[in-house]
Structure formats: structure tokens, C-alpha cells
């Protein structure tokens, strides 16, 4: 690990760790005692700091608020049985963060700022990494434009922050999802492959509309024809059709998920046939009708694998197989959890021990 960054540390004199209740912790609401911050000014990264977690004073004119130059990442740190802390595949999140940055005309973040900033934050807040089964410390790097100017152009100054929040088990019933054919999440030439704040903003209204119709989540389709399945909410979506694991190939409109990549690697390694290609709505519906679709699930860092129990398309609702009977997705999720929790050999070198 590169260890070159000078980080100024201001310890929190009013820590909340001892008084924080870790059981039944709501996702992303309770932050650790510290945060890492850095600034991009005059063409360079500077002011590397660990600060007590809390408000940052800013002008309401900062361009992130007006023109949406904001990106983020999400990854998790786990407590291993020997007490070590491991961050899962941080190199992939670092890489994707800079792909997102470049697409919306932001400077890239140097590796040592991302990695050493994160390691320093985790180290000072080590006590916040839960040791209970199915708990982890969720890390949220975010970068946003801070020029105080209403001129429409790429900002010249940015702030990079890493927040950390302990998370518990993500119990959720199998989802009832709607194949969305009016609204879209991404389009050709757009920013769908980047983890930008705006991608989330545009999805909120369609999501709320689907909830009004009784759905838990959406399956997005392509903006040109609505004939191809893209993602499910803010997660990638996978299917088992005729015994093969099928998912949309990574493209301009698909977020290149780390969980997606991890599950594909594990599936191939255990001899499961995997197809990364265009997935049609028609084949999914046909599979739901004739029973050749045996599994459907959403995959992402927050929940790992979330089963899909029912799929709505047009005015039809299709009931899928019993979520508890799904061998491939349940098996892959177990294997992934065992590796990142240090209970199985890290044979792909995914765990970064802090
Ligand atoms: C973050 C995200 C995912 C999941 O990516 P992971 O790296 O697995 O957490 C999938 N789709 C979208 C749109 C996302 O924003």
C-alpha cells in the first residue's frame, strides 16, 4: 500500500461509538465518528484531513447543487474472525469512481487519496466495524463540485469525502418488480455506466409510481425499444434460464457492478454456464410462463442478492419459483459472503486487509 499522503487528523472529542446501538441499525443513517475529506483546488488535490463527522459549511451557490456534478461509490469493510478488517474489492470501486469522474468532467482522484484516505478513516474508526454475522461497515466515497458560480461549465474546484456507516443484515422478502416500459434509467450516449447522483434522481419518480401500483422495485428496459432488460432499481439483475446464468452485458447503459462481476467469476469457477449478452423481455416472460426461468435476482453491494418473487409486465403478473428453492443464487451468495467474511479462502485476492 502506498503510504505517501500527509493526512491531518483532528480527533472527535465527542465520540458516539460507546453509546451507539448496533442491532437493528437503519441503513445509512448513523455515521462513524470521523470522515476523510480532500479538496481539489488550483489544479491539484490538497487538504487531506480526517475530521469529526459533521456538517461542512458551504455556499448555496456551489455548482453541484445547480448542475449536478456529483458522483459516489459504495463498498464494505468486514471484520474477519481473527479481528482483522478487510475491505472487499476496493480497487474496483476506485477504478469505477474515476470512470464516473471522467464522464462528468471532474478530475480523477489519485489512488493514494482514495485508498489511503479510506484506510486512515477505517483505522481511526476501527471500533465501528461490526463483528456480528451479516454486519459490515459501509463506505461511501463522494465527490462534488464546489465552485461558487452559476456559470454553466465544469467546476474548477471539488470536494472528495469518505463517510462510513455501520450496516446490519438486509432482510428483505422476495421483491415484486415491474418491467418498466415508459420511464428509463439510462440511454445511449448518456451517463448510465457512471455512478452519478443524477442517475438516482431520475429514477425516484418512476420508482414512486411503481410503488403506488404495489411494486417493490422496477426492472429498467432500454430507452430505444423497451425490449431489453437492463437493471433492477440501483442493482444489476440476473436470471437463471434453462440452467444458465444470464445477465445484461456491460454497456453504456449498464452500471458495471462489482457484485455482478464477483458472482459471474464465482459462477464460472464452479462450472455454471454464464451468458453476458442482451437479455430480452420476451425471453424472460416466456421463461416465467413455461417454467424455464428458475431464478431471478438483483445484485449489488447493499444487499448482495435480493430475490425477485414476482414480475409484472403490462397487465400480467408472473409468479416465479419459491425464492427459498433457488440453488444457484443462494449458493453463489453464500460463497461470496464466506470469502468476504474470511470464512473461505480468498482465492481471487479480493480482500484488502487494513
Ligand atoms: C451501484 C450500482 C449497482 C451495483 O454495483 P455494486 O458495485 O455491485 O454495488 C448496480 N447498478 C446501479 C445503477 C448502481 O448504481
pLDDT confidence of 4, banded at 50, 70, 90? confident
339 Cα–ligand 1 center, Å: 20
299 CA: nearest ligand 1 atom: 8
What's the whole-number average pLDDT of the chain?
A: 96
Q: What are phi and psi of 346, to 5 degrees?
A: -85, 70
User: What pLDDT is recorded for position 195?
Assistant: 98
195 CA: nearest ligand 1 atom: 15
141 Cα–ligand 1 center, Å: 14
Residues 190 and 253: beta-carbon distance below 8 Å: yes
**Closest residue CA from atom 11 of ligand 1:** 235
The predicted-structure confidence for 109-155, as pLDDT tens digits, reads as follows 999 999 999 999 999 999 999 998 889 999 999 999 999 999 999 99
The predicted-structure confidence for 200-250, as pLDDT tens digits, reads as follows 999 999 999 999 999 999 999 999 999 999 999 999 999 999 999 999 999
pLDDT confidence of 1, banded at 50, 70, 90? very low
258 Cα–ligand 1 center, Å: 7
Instruction: Could you list the beta-strand ranges (E) of 65-157.
Output: 70-72, 75-79, 85-88, 136-145
In testing the pocket of ligand 1, which one of 200, 219, 236, 249 has its CB within 8 Å of the most ligand atoms?
236
Residues 255 and 230: beta-carbon distance below 8 Å: no
User: What pLDDT is recorded for position 303?
Assistant: 82
The predicted-structure confidence for 270-298, as pLDDT tens digits, reads as follows 999 999 999 999 999 999 999 999 999 99
230 Cα–ligand 1 center, Å: 12
Task: Classify 8-168 by CATH class.
Answer: alpha beta
Q: What percent of the chain has pLDDT over 90?
A: 94
- Give the closest residue to 301 by CA, choosing from 52, 96, 50: 96
256 Cα–ligand 1 center, Å: 7
pLDDT confidence of 26, banded at 50, 70, 90? confident
The predicted-structure confidence for 94-111, as pLDDT tens digits, reads as follows 999 999 999 999 999 999
CA distance 299 to 304: 5
Please state, as a whole number, how many other Cβ atoms lie within 10 Å of the Cβ of residue 41: 13
74 CA: nearest ligand 1 atom: 9
**Closest residue CA from atom 10 of ligand 1:** 235
User: What pLDDT is recorded for position 260?
Assistant: 98
96 CA: nearest ligand 1 atom: 7
Superfamily of domain 175-340: D-amino Acid Aminotransferase, subunit A, domain 2 (3.20.10.10)
pLDDT confidence of 3, banded at 50, 70, 90? low
Q: What is the pTM of this model?
A: 0.96
Task: Evaluate if residue 302 carries a pLDDT over 90.
Answer: no
- Give the closest residue to 36 by CA, choosing from 126, 99, 122, 102: 122
130 Cα–ligand 1 center, Å: 23
149 Cα–ligand 1 center, Å: 31
Pocket of ligand 1 (CB under 6 A): 74, 195, 231, 234-236, 255, 257-260, 300-301
Task: Evaluate if residue 172 carries a pLDDT over 80.
Answer: no
**pLDDT (mean) for 254-273:** 98
Per domain, the residue ranges of the chain are: 8-168, 175-340
- Give the closest residue to 140 by CA, choosing from 110, 171, 109, 114: 114
305 Cα–ligand 1 center, Å: 12
In testing the pocket of ligand 1, which one of 206, 300, 340 has its CB within 8 Å of the most ligand atoms?
300
User: What pLDDT is recorded for position 133?
Assistant: 85
Q: Which residue has the higher pLDDT, 322 or 171?
A: 322
255 Cα–ligand 1 center, Å: 6
**Closest residue CA from atom 15 of ligand 1:** 234
Amino acid at each position: 500500500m502506498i503510504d505517501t499522503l500527509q493526512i491531518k487528523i483532528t480527533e472527535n472529542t465527542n465520540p458516539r461509538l460507546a453509546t451507539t446501538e448496533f442491532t437493528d441499525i437503519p441503513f445509512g443513517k448513523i455515521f462513524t465518528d470521523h470522515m476523510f475529506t480532500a479538496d481539489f483546488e488550483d489544479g491539484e488535490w490538497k487538504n487531506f484531513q480526517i475530521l469529526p463527522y459533521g456538517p461542512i459549511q458551504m455556499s448555496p451557490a456551489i455548482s453541484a447543487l445547480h448542475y449536478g456534478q456529483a458522483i459516489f461509490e459504495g463498498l464494505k469493510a468486514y471484520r474477519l474472525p481473527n479481528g482483522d478488517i478487510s475491505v472487499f474489492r476496493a480497487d474496483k470501486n476506485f477504478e469505477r469512481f474515476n470512470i464516473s469522474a471522467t464522464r462528468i468532467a471532474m478530475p480523477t482522484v489519485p489512488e493514494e487519496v482514495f485508498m489511503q484516505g479510506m484506510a486512515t478513516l477505517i483505522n481511526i474508526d476501527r471500533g465501528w466495524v461490526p463483528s456480528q454475522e451479516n454486519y459490515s461497515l459501509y463506505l461511501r466515497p463522494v465527490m462534488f463540485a464546489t465552485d461558487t458560480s452559476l456559470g454553466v461549465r465544469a467546476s474548477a474546484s471539488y470536494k472528495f469525502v469518505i463517510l462510513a456507516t455501520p450496516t446490519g443484515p438486509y432482510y428483505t422478502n422476495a421483491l415484486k418488480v415491474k418491467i418498466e416500459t415508459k420511464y428509463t434509467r439510462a440511454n445511449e450516449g448518456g451517463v448510465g455506466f457512471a455512478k452519478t447522483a443524477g442517475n438516482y434522481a431520475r429514477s425516484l419518480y418512476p420508482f414512486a409510481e411503481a410503488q403506488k401500483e404495489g411494486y417493490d422495485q422496477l426492472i429498467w428496459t432500454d430507452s430505444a425499444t423497451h425490449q431489453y432488460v437492463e437493471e433492477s432499481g440501483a442493482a444489476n439483475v440476473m436470471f437463471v434460464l434453462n440452467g444458465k446464468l444470464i445477465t445484461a452485458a456491460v454497456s453504456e447503459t449498464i452500471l458495471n457492478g462489482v457484485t455482478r462481476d464477483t458472482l459471474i467469476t464465482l459462477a464460472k469457477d464452479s462450472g455454471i454456464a454464464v451468458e453476458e449478452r442482451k437479455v430480452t423481455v420476451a425471453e424472460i416472460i416466456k421463461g416465467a410462463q413455461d417454467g424455464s426461468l428458475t431464478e431471478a435476482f438483483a445484485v449489488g453491494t447493499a444487499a448482495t442478492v435480493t430475490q425477485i418473487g414476482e414480475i409484472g409486465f403490462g397487465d400480467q403478473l408472473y409468479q416465479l419459483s419459491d425464492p427459498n428453492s433457488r440453488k444457484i443464487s443462494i449458493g453463489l451468495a453464500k460463497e461470496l459472503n464466506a470469502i468476504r467474511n474470511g470464512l473461505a479462502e480468498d482465492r481471487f485476492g479480493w480482500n484488502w486487509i487494513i
